[in-house]
Amino acid sequence: MQEPFRAVASREAEGGREIAVTVRNVGMDFDGVHAVKNASFDLPKGRFLTILGPSGSGKTTLLRMIAGFQTPSSGEIFINGEAVSAVPPHKRSIGMVFQRLALFPHMTAAENVAFPLKMRRRDARTIPERVERYLELVRLGGYGGRRIHELSGGQQQRVAIARALVFEPDLLLLDEPLAALDRKLREEMQLEFRRIQRELGVTTINVTHDQREALVVSDDIVVMDQGEIQQKAQPIHTYRQPRNAFVANFIGVTNFIAGTVRAVSEAGDVSILRGDLMLAGKIGDPVNPPAEGDKASGAIRAEQIRLAGDAAQLSKLDCMLAGTVTDTIFEGERMVYEVACAAIGDEVIRVFDHDPAAHTQFDIGESVFLGWNARDMLVFR
Amino acid sequence: MRAARTAYPLKWRIMDALEGVAAAIWPARFRRATPYLMLLPAVLLVGLLVLGLIQIADASLRTLDTTTFQFSDDYSIANFRRALTEPLFLVVAQRSLIAALIVTAVTLVFAFPYAYLMVRTRSPGLRKFLLIALFLPFFIGQVVRAYGWLIILGNQGMVNEALGLVGVAPMRLIYNYPAVLFGLVQYMLPFAVLMLAPALTAIPEELEAAAGSLGANWVRTFIHVVLPLARPGFIGAGVVVLTLSLTDFAVPAILGGGSHDFIANAIYDQFFRTSDQGLGATLALMLVALGSILVGLVFALFGAGTLAMGRSRA
Ligand SMILES: Nc1ncnc2c1ncn2[C@@H]1O[C@H](COP(=O)(O)OP(=O)(O)OP(=O)(O)O)[C@@H](O)[C@H]1O
Ligand SMILES: [Mg+2]
């Protein structure tokens, strides 16, 4: 009965690596609420996958099903090629770091880290040495005797990581464990995760709604919205080639200009008409391309637009729009301009100014020109 | 009009008015005294108790002259000597103490699954049912409940009648020690559940999930995570059940039928049957001492649990 599944589930991935986790057509219903719909992906061994999505998109639900705390309403999950729906959490070899850490408050840091080893009946003589080694791995050597409440937030985080890794699980699951930390510590811990994951080579699934974290730490990103997987790709592709308007909008700062498709070429060039303005762009989603006459919108990122006081400076760019600065937001490393453009009905376009040489500064009310290249505008239905 | 009402609801206006009245009666400069003022009723109550205790201590030192039914004017420790040497009182004290210990242990064992299910169940219906079942006995009262057991377990009670139908001779199900223990456990169960539930609520469910993912099955999760973390609840519930059982009156009186008296029944007899208030007072003092020693022992060994309001242990 399971043979065909197993044969498919344990196939080699594109890179020739073995598959650690397969999620196939998995769905989860909570009394009519579809928390996860028909999710499928493969995760090769040793990779770091991030599930990224807004609040309520089903990330935690998907993770809990992989961990075994919830049973999928439909579909099947395979770990190392084995269907696991009948396997309880304590028999799966999964280390999990919880959103609120779930450290045992009545134990010391070392006792917390030793817990999974004791539960798995490892040789008692090797436990102390092993615990200390993993505490050192998370840079907490010598802190083993502390109680949990005697540790700082970041240190507790590290204990949780050590505890999830010490028994060398096949799979590490992280449910937004960094969400509660301040930004500096969070960025430090993101790199720490990355370092430890590379050092141990453990297959990891991380859940977050922080797009920066997803881009920085992952080999692959799965973007979810309303229970559905929108795209699975490497970070750079997720950012540069979003497959639909949701992904384009969720990651980065993106402007959308709605219009009607006028022409589509074999090579993937599209032009859309908005009022009297014709805009040239590229097909965003080759699987679901727009056709002539469709309503569509062109997506252009804030950092791909150039800003200038006179039109001549932008003459090398494919598209140009005139507008008026309505707001300026200083973000330290860059200035964000909001520009209302008459040609698109005074809709506001956001532009990052990161010109390190000129340091030109525009004020609210000033007339400016925006320019960009046609290949940077992706057109989605 | 409507917007204004939602922005500043009536409840707030009433509170403002009340605060205004309070400020007129009790101006801000008296505010430092407010906490002490609020303690006053409690202090008065405890003070009255202490006064009563002094009265009892005084009575305990006077002996009853059985010919004149007068109390002696001078103090002696004769009552204490009697209480400590007469076998009857030792038997009663021993019986109460052992019963209290057994009842505490059995009640905690029974109360835990009930409290756990009530706290952890995902079904709101079941939780409501368990809560109502928990409070129902409080509405019925101890005496009525003990009397109810007479109806059920008595010689002509329902159980014996049912046994009779299947040809079993009537059995003596009450007026014995197990019946008293049974009645006490049944009486204490809701108290223990009420003391355990908050301690269990305070244990994040995620900890149990974490233990599972770390390789612990439910038995080991229970032993290594739930039980140690529920400890403050066990201590609180244990102390309450222990002291309530040790000092109970109605259950041994009704289900023991006079032949399985506890200390409280002996005290009652001294006050209202033999009218020896001196000896009654002595027994009462010794009961207070016994209870205090037991509770002190528990606190010394295990900390104060939930009764210390989160300051139990480092
Ligand atoms: N036990 C449950 N019962 C009913 N509905 C649930 C349950 N758990 C989750 N849901 C619903 O399923 C959806 C997805 O929830 P989930 O917790 O997976 O979101 P999430 O992506 O992790 O969000 P967040 O980023 O806020 O943690 C939500 O609409 C949520 O209300
Ligand atoms: Mg979540």
Where exactly are the structural domains of chain B? 1-60, 78-307
The domains of chain A, with CATH numbers, are: 2-245 (3.40.50.300), 253-380 (2.40.50.140)
Structure tokens at B106: 């059995």
DSSP A313: G
Mean pLDDT for A169-192 is 84
CA distance B290 to B284: 10
Contact between residue A48 and residue A219 where contact means Cβ atoms under 8 Å apart: yes
Q: In B154-274, which ranges are continuous DSSP H helix?
A: 158-165, 177-201, 205-213, 218-221, 227-246, 250-255, 263-272
| Per-residue pLDDT tens over the stretch A230-264 | 999 999 999 999 998 999 999 989 999 988 888 88
Q: What percent of chain B has pLDDT over 90?
A: 48
Pocket of ligand 1 (CB under 6 A): A 30, 33, 35, 53, 55-61, 209
Structure tokens at B48: 């009255």
In the predicted model, is pLDDT for residue A7 greater than 50?
no
CA distance A327 to A336: 8
Instruction: Answer whether B229 sits within 8 Å of A94, measured CB to CB.
Output: no
Q: At what angle do helices A109-119 and A127-137 cross, to 10 degrees?
A: 120
Tell me which residue in B207, B224, B314 faces A102 most closely, judged by beta carbons. B207
What is the H or E stretch that residue A94 is in?
Answer: strand A94-97
Asked if the ipTM is above 0.90, the reply is no
Contact between residue A50 and residue A218 where contact means Cβ atoms under 8 Å apart: yes
- At A10, the pLDDT band (50, 70, 90 cuts) reads very low
A155-169, A172-186, A230-244, range with the lowest pLDDT: A172-186
How is B111-123 classified by DSSP, letter by letter? HHHHHHHHHH-S-
Question: What pLDDT is stored for residue A1 in this prediction?
Answer: 38
In chain A, which residue's Cα lies nearest the Cα of B224? A115
- Pick among B120, B213, B223 to test the A interface (most A CBs inside 10 A): B213
Query: B73 CB near a chain A CB, below 8 Å?
Result: no
**Cα torsion angle, B146, B148, B154, B159, sign:** negative
- At A8, the pLDDT band (50, 70, 90 cuts) reads very low
In chain B, which residue's Cα lies nearest the Cα of A173? B213
Phi, psi angles (nearest 5°) of residue A339: -125, 125
Nearest alpha carbon, ligand 1 atom 10: A35
Q: Which residues in chain A touch residue B203, judged by CB atoms under 8 angstroms apart?
A: none
Question: What pLDDT is stored for residue A76 in this prediction?
Answer: 93
Burial B273-306 (b: 16+ CB within 10 A, else e): eeebbbbbbbbbbbbeebbeebbeebbeebbbbb
- At A15, the pLDDT band (50, 70, 90 cuts) reads low
DSSP B189: H
Question: What pLDDT is stored for residue A315 in this prediction?
Answer: 83
- At A356, the pLDDT band (50, 70, 90 cuts) reads low
Atom number in ligand 1 closest to CA A224: 21
Q: What is the CATH number of domain B78-307?
A: 1.10.3720.10
Question: What pLDDT is stored for residue B228 in this prediction?
Answer: 92
Residues with pLDDT less than 70, chain B: 1-5, 305-314
3-state secondary structure of A123: coil
Nearest alpha carbon, ligand 1 atom 28: A56
Instruction: Answer whether A163 sits within 8 Å of B207, measured CB to CB.
Output: no
Q: A226 CA to middle of ligand 1, Å?
A: 10
Tell me which residue in A68, A98, A147 faces B210 most closely, judged by beta carbons. A98
Structure tokens at B155: 């010689």
Which of B:220-249 have CB within 8 Å of A?
A: 220, 224-225, 228-229
Q: Which ligand is nearest to the CA of A51?
A: 1
Q: Which residues in chain A touch residue B212, judged by CB atoms under 8 angstroms apart?
A: 68-69, 88-90
The reported pTM is 0.76
Phi, psi angles (nearest 5°) of residue B160: -65, -35
Q: A31 CA to middle of ligand 2, Å?
A: 19
Terminal CA-CA length for chain B: 55
Question: What pLDDT is stored for residue A13 in this prediction?
Answer: 46
Distances (CA, A) of B241 to A17, B63, B146: 62, 34, 17
CA distance A347 to A326: 11
| Per-residue pLDDT tens over the stretch A324-353 | 999 988 888 888 999 998 888 888 999 998
Mean pLDDT for A83-100 is 88
Q: Which ligand is nearest to the CA of A62?
A: 1
Q: Which residues in chain B touch residue A100, judged by CB atoms under 8 angstroms apart?
A: 204, 206
Question: What pLDDT is stored for residue A18 in this prediction?
Answer: 85
Q: Which residues in chain A touch residue B211, judged by CB atoms under 8 angstroms apart?
A: 104, 115, 119
Mean pLDDT for A279-296 is 86
Query: B123 CB near a chain A CB, below 8 Å?
Result: no
Question: What pLDDT is stored for residue A4 in this prediction?
Answer: 40
Question: What pLDDT is stored for residue B305 in this prediction?
Answer: 66
Query: B219 CB near a chain A CB, below 8 Å?
Result: no
In chain B, which residue's Cα lies nearest the Cα of A97? B210
Burial A285-299 (b: 16+ CB within 10 A, else e): beeebbeeeeebbbb
Contact between residue B73 and residue B211 where contact means Cβ atoms under 8 Å apart: no
CA distance A157 to A146: 14
Atom number in ligand 1 closest to CA A64: 18
CA distance A112 to A103: 7
Instruction: Answer whether B213 sits within 8 Å of A163, measured CB to CB.
Output: no
Structure tokens at B140: 């019925």
Mean pLDDT for A131-151 is 90
Question: What pLDDT is stored for residue B168 in this prediction?
Answer: 83
- At A178, the pLDDT band (50, 70, 90 cuts) reads confident
- At A37, the pLDDT band (50, 70, 90 cuts) reads very high
A221-225, A266-270, A371-375, B43-47, range with the lowest pLDDT: A266-270
Query: A301 CB near a chain B CB, below 8 Å?
Result: no
Structure tokens at A116: 């999974």
CA distance A277 to A157: 53
Question: What pLDDT is stored for residue A61 in this prediction?
Answer: 92
| Per-residue pLDDT tens over the stretch A54-81 | 998 999 999 999 999 989 999 999 998 8
The alpha-carbon gap from B215 to the nearest alpha carbon of chain A, in Å, equals 4
Mean pLDDT, chain A, rounded, equals: 87
Instruction: Answer whether B213 sits within 8 Å of A106, measured CB to CB.
Output: no
